[in-house]
Structure 1
Amino acid sequence: MSKALFITEKPSVAMEYVKLLNVKGTKRDGYIESDKAVFSWCVGHMVTMSYPEAYDPNLKRWSLDTLPFLPKEYKYEIIPAVSKQFNVVSGLLKREDINTIYVCTDSGREGEYIYRLVDQMVGVQGKEKKRVWIDSQTEEEIRRGIKEAKDISEYDSLADSAYLRAKEDYLLGINFSRLLTLKYGKTVANATGDKLVVIAVGRVMSCVLGMIVDREREIRSFVKTPFYKILGSFDGNSSGEYEEEMVYEGEWKSVEGSKYKDSPLLYNEGGFKKREDAEKFIEEIGEKIFEQEPVIENIKKTVESKNAPLLFNLAELQNECSKKFKISPEETLNKIQSLYEKKLLTYPRTDARVLSKAVAKEIDKNIRKLLKYDGDKEIKGIAENILNNKWYSNLEKTKYVNDSKITDHYAIIPTGEGLQSYNGLTDLEKKVYNLVLRRFLAIFYPPAKYNKIAITTQAGGERFFTTDKVCVEEGYLNVLKEYKKNKEEKNLKFLSKLKKGQIVDVVDMEVKEGETSPPKRYTSGSIIIAMENAGKLIEDEELREQIKGAGIGTSATRAEILKKLEKIGYIMSDKKTQVISPTQKGEMIYEVIINSIPTLLNPTLTASWEKGLKMVYGKEIEPDLFMKKLEDYTKLNVKKVMDRMNMGDMHGFFEEVKGKNSNGVKAKSSSKSKKNSNTDKSENGARESLGLCPICKTGDIVKNSKGYGCNNWQSGCKFFVSEICGKKIPVEQIKNLMSHGKTDIITGFKSKKGNEFNARLIIKGGKIELSFENS
């Protein structure tokens, strides 16, 4: 009698299938068999791509002569550690009595790849193959997945994208790691004091390293700028009409009509560069208010509604857990995977933050099941409230449901099942589950409502702005427990009594000093969000969702990338705060990459590769076209690096990196070393290289008494930088200019009229120009 074979990704899932389908079978070595079906499993990946030496034993030795390595036909091999289980699965796939194969590996690109590799190695022929695609491990969902299983050919484009992703990582990793190690490994080893340094390069890994190093250097080169705001205190009860005190505060801004509009004395519209100018402003106001009484020029009252945030996808949940529980993305994924396998949550490796219309139509089932949840006494009441008011009935018409924003799986939500296993969860698993649970229930609750008031007070011809906001209906905030009473809520009551045109008294004017803040270091959570948004760390959650396109890596791989970077010593993370920073070695590797294959550090380009894979999956482009672009990119960059001289100018950067501690602070020197040091010269008397000359491409940029020039000047190179627009350029920024093609924003340039301005320096067409982008 013919039988069906079910192949899952791991043994625990196979056991769950057997249990849920009520199969009475015999447990054997590596599989379970009944009279109608056989259940077996992979152990994660069981097949891998072969190293170059499998193609030719001579390729085991790293040599520039054998690069680029671009196989015409790729070779694969069984992973030795799991060969026993592979042989079990292989034997089952070949059995004559097996006529239908149900592929039950994880419903995603990686799960597809795991089975396809096994199928390829075994060479399965003449059997019906069906793909089980599910969103959770509940009995209902598994039965639906089996019943509605499609022919595996329906997922061929997903398999194509999976194979291409692996080939992409393989080609870039093998070729560029060997190339850069052979060219510059000794230079790095000499700088680190190691005997040997392998420069590990990866499509996603190198890009993420670049993001972390760039952020560290932004912080390191940041110069705090003080500014001075003007705060005015006004008495709205100058007539004595009211019994209570009605003093309120307003902040001055140089809006249209202000004497200081666009003044060079200002840091921005709300602050002066110098305290003395701010104090002079207050004196001027003091004189003018005797000529013209201060008055409330405008009052605007509004009601603002704010809806609950979107549901969690993996990246958002990893970010939230990093902030709330100080755990790594990898640990978060492990907890969610465990909750998924216990049937408590839906599929974890999803990019979507919304539900499908089909799920939304029956979402009340999930809510009703949660009435049995006893892990939190409040949850039952919240669920009852939603059901009694039928707040779920119009969910399809809200922002939380959108089929067009779902590729493989909808957002992570509670299934309402598996509740019997809740008490056996770890404390951290319970916290993560409750986080998802409350986010889910919050979307059904009414919006939070706020009363807002905005007052413009005119005093001495200048305008002061006052705003206040009070929550009057907590709505979904009751579910998320995120609302904290504002101590200043009482202000709104008396502010609401003020009237347009009302005369007020100036009680006080004060100067409040502030200063600009450097960017924050990435945390393990915020770097995941930045990766999801192609290198942009966008704080606003709604805005993130609106602009989201192709990201760096996938939801399934981002945590693994961070783990690998830390394991190979390129980054380090503070386990208590989850703050991430680069190591000295990581910065040196960054310098090698940016001076050899800088496109590897470009988040936009890295994201475009990922977008290309999605286009293959969506059948928008042919796999062969993607493969050609990949091979061309590999060949082009191998040639570029081969044609370039060894990077002797790296020594200067490496020494600079070594002179910084983990926080980017220059290491202290002994008095003896200070006495003998020369910032322009190295120990052998040669001037320190600040980078490769952008004009002649062979000389080094060095510092001299007049500025910065190319040491190839005797051969005719005319590159020279001195003072620009009245500003001496710091050596740190010259290094940035040479290595990155641009500086950070530099303050203190002066126009011909004497007005100060900020700008970057960029190299364009072999010349240095001013750039006002983001300045």
Structure 2
Amino acid sequence: MNKSLFIAEKPSVAQEFAKALKVNTSRKDGYLESENTIITWCVGHLVTMSYPEAYDPALKRWSLETLPFLPEDFKYEVIPSVKKQFQIVSGLLNRKDVETIYVCTDSGREGEYIYRLVAMMAGVKDKKQKRVWIDSQTEEEIIRGIKEAKDISEYDNLSASAYLRAKEDYLMGINFSRLLSLKYGNAVSNYLGSRYQAISVGRVMTCVLGMVVRREREIREFVKTPFYRVIGNFKQQGHTFEGEWRAAESSRYFASPLLYKENGFKKKETAMELKEILSANPPLEAVVEKIEKKKENKNPPLLFNLAELQNECSRLFKLSPDETLKIVQELYEKKLVTYPRTDARVLSSAVAKEIYKNISGLKNYEHGSIYAAEILETGCYKNLIKTRYVNDKQITDHYAIIPTGQGLNALRSISVQGSKVYEVIVRRFLSIFYPPAVYQKINLVSVIEKEKLFSSFKILVSEGYLKVTPNSFGKKKDNAGKEEKTIAEDGEFLNWILGIKKGSYLSIEDFSIKEGETSPPKRYTSGSMILAMENAGQLIEDEELRAQIKGSGIGTSATRAEILKKLVTIKYLELNKKTQVITPTLLGEMIFDVVNCSIRSLLNPELTASWEKGLTYVAEGSITSEEYMFKLENFIKSRTEGVLGLRNQLMLKQFFDASSKFYKKPAQKRLENQKKRSKIEKNNLREGR
């Protein structure tokens, strides 16, 4: 009897397919089998690219003479630690009674690559191969994916882009890491006093390092500028509010060199001078010259993609992107949410038509039941397809991360942090079915002594979707996020503000001076870095190039967290676990300077984003693999030749010196650590521990 073979990416996913197929399987070594079905699994990657020494043993030794290394045909090998499972999978793929292979690895470029490598190494021939593409692991979605499975050839372009991505990372990593290590490794190790220093370079990670180092240097070079604002303190109806002085055209200070922007002065003495002018004729009153009233609607935000969720979890929970990905992957595998490695923040029209199923399931969820019931009762979900939250053109592999409405029993077995992340996803999803929050905005201009004071109010008139968003676990400031606060708290004061007319007189208690100072750029957090990587195209100054690679970031939703983690692991960056703030290390800054003096383009987001866009073109079938490889090999050849011709090792010391003064030397660090240990030991002795 001919059988169907289902190959999943992980054992847990294989179990979900077995449940969905409702087959009575017996457990074998590395697979499940029934009368007409076999289900097996990879354990992530089973096959990898071979190191250069597999091509020629002489290539094991790093040498400038053997660069660039650009093989005509690439070699692959089974990863030793998973050799047994590969042999099991390979044997099943080639079994004579297996007629159809259903490829059920993760629905994305990396999942496609995992299977294609296995099939290539196993030498699969003369079998029907069908690709199962699903957005969640619910039984309904799995069965739909199997029924609608397409011939694997329809994913050949995606497969080609996956192979090219791996080749690109491999060739850039091996060639440029060897090249720069041989050329500049001694300069780095001699300066640090270490034995030997390899220089690790990567298509994406070097660009990320560049972003962090540049930001750190901007902060160092930033010079704070103090400025002084004059504020009128109004008192009305038992409430106080402020009016900020600005140098309008009628002001005696208009376009004055004494100004720091239009609302402050460079020197406190000038601000004091204005304060005395404004306070000269008590009782102090200002006349309303202009009042503007307008309603403002604020729509619910778009749904989560992985980058947005990682940023939100960094802000709320101080989770690293890697930790967030692990949590949301678990939620996906327990059927609670849809596929997490997505760049889309919208839904497909097909999903929108069936969205009531997701909402209905949430009627049984503690923190969503009231809203889910209300949405279903009003029927507002029926118009979802006409909103900005549905757009087929903005979806490539997968739609946004949303709750499936299923698997709620699994919430008992996940961590507290996992439950919180799930709640955040649910609230974002349910909020899109509610109307906008409505604000009344009032801008008030009043005049005293021919100078103008500006006041503004933002009053929440209708909370709309905001009633859904406060988390059960959060503080008010966490729930509010960047939501603006209003000073209006009672009806009488609101009515008074709304009743103000031109020509009205307002009482001023006094004037004060508020000192401020300009702020340096903020350091990246792990979350904001993920967003910066996703939106790297926006960092490009060239307008034409920026438009050309619009929508391309650096890395992918599946790889960004891992890249950031690697930079921390190899000690090029430091990640503060409490704050999630990212800073460079001295070594990281030195590597930046090495690359900046040799292959500067590796530090630029435009290069990395353009390569990523090229991979997208391959996946779309716009360009061929041959065209892409031709461009890649020329880039590696030209940059290698350029570095080989440089003689600039000695000049690096000036850059290393410039950075090192901002870091403690190793000996100093050791001394401080010894003092800390000694202090702890003394305290322990005092307390009798």
- Which residue among 302, 323, 340 is the counterpart of 1:310? 302
SS in 1 for 2:288: strand
* Alpha-carbon spacing, 1:293–1:477, altered in 2? closer, same or farther (3 Å): closer
- Over residues 439-469 of structure 1, what are the superposed CA-to-partner deviations in whole Å (9 max), with x where a residue is unaligned? 1111111211111111011223332111011
Q: Does 1:280 find its partner at 2:273?
A: yes
Structure 2 portions without partners, runs of 5+: 471-478, 541-548, 670-689
Separation (CA, whole Å) in 1 of partners of 2:382 and 2:260: 52
Please state how far the C-alpha of 1:223 moved relative to its aligned partner: 1.4
- Over residues 390-434 of structure 1, what are the superposed CA-to-partner deviations in whole Å (9 max), with x where a residue is unaligned? 121111111111111111100000001111211121111111111
- Which residue among 433, 444, 448 is the counterpart of 1:455? 444
- Over residues 590-632 of structure 1, what are the superposed CA-to-partner deviations in whole Å (9 max), with x where a residue is unaligned? 1111111111110122111111111111112222111111111
Contact 2:536 2:552 in 1 (8 A): yes
Contact 2:165 2:615 in 1 (8 A): yes
- Over residues 215-264 of structure 1, what are the superposed CA-to-partner deviations in whole Å (9 max), with x where a residue is unaligned? 1111112111100111123467xxxxxxx357542112223443433332
Separation (CA, whole Å) in 1 of partners of 2:45 and 2:268: 65
Separation (CA, whole Å) in 2 of partners of 1:613 and 1:58: 32
The one-letter code sitting in structure 1 at the alignment partner of 2:613 is K
* Alpha-carbon spacing, 1:192–1:535, altered in 2? closer, same or farther (3 Å): farther
Q: 1:176-255 alignment to 2 at 5 Å?
A: 176-234=176-234, 244-245=237-238, 248-255=241-248
Separation (CA, whole Å) in 2 of partners of 1:492 and 1:200: 61
Separation (CA, whole Å) in 2 of partners of 1:536 and 1:263: 35
Normalised by the size of structure 2, how large is the TM-score?
A: 0.90
Separation (CA, whole Å) in 2 of partners of 1:415 and 1:234: 52
SS in 2 for 1:392: helix
Please state how far the C-alpha of 1:649 moved relative to its aligned partner: 1.3
- Over residues 113-157 of structure 1, what are the superposed CA-to-partner deviations in whole Å (9 max), with x where a residue is unaligned? 000111111221111110000000000000000000000011011
Aligned to 2:432: 443
Please state how far the C-alpha of 1:506 moved relative to its aligned partner: 4.5
* Alpha-carbon spacing, 1:595–1:47, altered in 2? closer, same or farther (3 Å): same
SS in 2 for 1:393: helix
Normalised by the size of structure 1, how large is the TM-score?
A: 0.81
Aligned to 1:380: 369
The one-letter code sitting in structure 2 at the alignment partner of 1:403 is D
Aligned to 1:260: 253
Aligned to 2:39: 39
State the number of aligned residues: 647
Please state how far the C-alpha of 1:179 moved relative to its aligned partner: 0.5
SS in 2 for 1:604: helix
Worse-matched range after superposition: 92-101 or 474-483: 474-483
Separation (CA, whole Å) in 1 of partners of 2:315 and 2:239: 39
The one-letter code sitting in structure 1 at the alignment partner of 2:300 is A
SS in 2 for 1:496: helix
Aligned to 2:264: 271
SS in 1 for 2:107: coil
Contact 1:215 1:521 in 2 (8 A): yes
The one-letter code sitting in structure 1 at the alignment partner of 2:47 is V
Contact 2:539 2:605 in 1 (8 A): no
Separation (CA, whole Å) in 2 of partners of 1:594 and 1:70: 24
Contact 2:457 2:486 in 1 (8 A): no
SS in 1 for 2:464: coil
Q: Does 1:564 find its partner at 2:562?
A: no
The one-letter code sitting in structure 2 at the alignment partner of 1:508 is D
Separation (CA, whole Å) in 1 of partners of 2:103 and 2:658: 54
Aligned to 2:16: 16
Q: 1:401-550 alignment to 2 at 5 Å?
A: 401-481=390-470, 482=479, 486-490=486-490, 492-534=494-536, 549-550=551-552
Aligned to 1:660: 662
SS in 2 for 1:476: helix
The one-letter code sitting in structure 2 at the alignment partner of 1:361 is K
Please state how far the C-alpha of 1:172 moved relative to its aligned partner: 0.6
* Alpha-carbon spacing, 1:249–1:93, altered in 2? closer, same or farther (3 Å): same
Q: Which has the higher contact order (CA 8 A, sep 6+)?
A: 2
Please state how far the C-alpha of 1:655 moved relative to its aligned partner: 2.5
Q: 1:719-730 alignment to 2 at 5 Å?
A: none
Separation (CA, whole Å) in 2 of partners of 1:344 and 1:286: 63
SS in 2 for 1:621: coil
Q: Does 1:107 find its partner at 2:96?
A: no
- Over residues 327-378 of structure 1, what are the superposed CA-to-partner deviations in whole Å (9 max), with x where a residue is unaligned? 11111100111110000010000000111111111101111111122xx2x4
Structure that is richer in helix per residue: 2
Contact 2:457 2:487 in 1 (8 A): no
Q: Percent identity?
A: 60
Please state how far the C-alpha of 1:505 moved relative to its aligned partner: 4.7
Aligned to 1:163: 163
Runs of 4 or more consecutive aligned structure 1 residues displaced over 6 Å after TM superposition: none
* Alpha-carbon spacing, 1:537–1:442, altered in 2? closer, same or farther (3 Å): farther
Separation (CA, whole Å) in 2 of partners of 1:26 and 1:618: 41
* Alpha-carbon spacing, 1:405–1:63, altered in 2? closer, same or farther (3 Å): same
Separation (CA, whole Å) in 2 of partners of 1:44 and 1:446: 43
Contact 1:298 1:456 in 2 (8 A): yes
The one-letter code sitting in structure 1 at the alignment partner of 2:646 is R
Contact 1:522 1:580 in 2 (8 A): yes
- Over residues 35-58 of structure 1, what are the superposed CA-to-partner deviations in whole Å (9 max), with x where a residue is unaligned? 111111111111111111111111
- Which residue among 554, 561, 584 is the counterpart of 1:582? 584
- Over residues 246-291 of structure 1, what are the superposed CA-to-partner deviations in whole Å (9 max), with x where a residue is unaligned? 754211222344343333222211111111122223344456x79x
Aligned to 2:135: 135
Separation (CA, whole Å) in 2 of partners of 1:204 and 1:530: 13
- Over residues 285-342 of structure 1, what are the superposed CA-to-partner deviations in whole Å (9 max), with x where a residue is unaligned? 456x79x984211111111111111111100111111111111111110011111000
Aligned to 1:346: 338
Q: Does 1:298 find its partner at 2:287?
A: no
Aligned to 1:49: 49
SS in 2 for 1:268: coil
SS in 2 for 1:349: coil
Aligned to 2:145: 145
Contact 1:470 1:489 in 2 (8 A): no
The one-letter code sitting in structure 2 at the alignment partner of 1:197 is Q
* Alpha-carbon spacing, 1:575–1:208, altered in 2? closer, same or farther (3 Å): same
Contact 1:453 1:492 in 2 (8 A): no
Separation (CA, whole Å) in 2 of partners of 1:259 and 1:150: 74
SS in 1 for 2:380: coil
The one-letter code sitting in structure 1 at the alignment partner of 2:297 is S
Contact 2:244 2:455 in 1 (8 A): yes
Separation (CA, whole Å) in 1 of partners of 2:8 and 2:241: 66
Aligned to 1:722: none
Separation (CA, whole Å) in 2 of partners of 1:662 and 1:443: 50
Structure 1 portions without partners, runs of 5+: 237-243, 539-546, 668-775
The one-letter code sitting in structure 2 at the alignment partner of 1:42 is C
Separation (CA, whole Å) in 1 of partners of 2:578 and 2:539: 22
The one-letter code sitting in structure 1 at the alignment partner of 2:175 is N
The one-letter code sitting in structure 2 at the alignment partner of 1:652 is Q
